[in-house]
Structure 1
Amino acid sequence: MKINWGTAIVIAFIGFISFIMYFVISMSTDSKYEHDLVVEDYYQQELEFQKDIDKETNAHTLKTNIRWETTEAGVLLTFPPELDYKLIEGKVFLYRPSNKQLDFEIPISLSNHNLLIPDKRLLDGRWNITIDWSYKNNSYLFKQAITY
């Protein structure tokens, strides 16, 4: 059977479209290609954005802000030494951009100016750390992208 050029072009288009559709469907249905780049309550967090800006501004007025460093035991957060650590309250939220199942939150409970986030909770890679804390009715916010 002889195929003319018009039929060959139609077959080529159908083949190309099938090839592209195969990859589109496989990428959108395969769970290993899921990348959650936003949080579930995106719009609620957007409404809180101005409060976060005010808290970050308060944090910049401190003599020293929160410092972090990686150690063998995990990530060590150091709160400002000029503040009384007993009056510091808040929470630490670690957000993993590539996998929302790894996100977690821990309350701040200090026995000195340091808070250790254990190594067993952290996988290697990028983490966004958000520390929402208060001291004597003043609210502060510390945000940092860290690579562990």
Structure 2
Amino acid sequence: MNWGKGMAIVMMLFIIFIVGMSCYMFNMPADDYDHQYYEKGLNYNKDYVKEKQVVTDQAQPIIKQVNGEISVEFKQPAIGTIKLITPLGKSNDVTFPLNTGSGIYANVPLIKLSTGRWAIRIDWNSGNKSYLFQQDLYINGK
């Protein structure tokens, strides 16, 4: 075999490799990224300020699981939302409205929730200030 045939074979193999990789990459699913990436980036500073406000005011809520409910104790009356996030996907996440009235306790029923690892995200207003608290928790049976 002479040099010309060898170079032609190497170039053909390289072209086949490039075409194969291009086809493979174009057939990859397009959903491998977070569609709300930029919106989350813009809102990150707002969430950071709320989380820092919890530390500054020492307003960390106390979370307990009692009698088939999650009990959340605040320092002052609170209005907002409690979101329970599961690693099983967004369709299984549950959001509850939060309004303690004149008290400081809020209860979340565990009726719809499966046993396992969850994350709780509490976003509330209290005393003209906004707060955000996140914590991992394990939900036992009902």
Bin for the TM-score computed over the shorter chain: 0.5 to 0.7
Aligned equivalent of 1:113, options 101, 104, 108:
104
Counting only pairs closer than 5 Å after superposition, residues 63-142 of structure 1 correspond to structure 2 as: 63-80=58-75, 83=76, 85=77, 88-111=78-101, 112-142=103-133
Rounded to whole Å, the distance in 2 between the matches of 1:46 and 1:79 is 29
Unaligned runs of 5+ in 2: 1-32
* Secondary structure class of the residue paired with 2:87: coil
Kept in 2: contact 1:72–1:119 (CA 8 A):
no
TM-score by length of 1: 0.64
Over the aligned positions, Cα root-mean-square deviation in angstroms equals: 1.9
Unaligned runs of 5+ in 1: 1-37
Higher relative helix content? 1
TM-score by length of 2: 0.66
The 1:97/1:43 distance shift into structure 2, 3 A limit, reads farther
Q: Which has the larger radius of gyration?
A: 2
Rounded to whole Å, the distance in 1 between the matches of 2:109 and 2:34 is 23
Deviation beyond 3 Å, 4+ runs, structure 1: 38-43
Q: Which residue is 1:60 aligned to?
A: 55
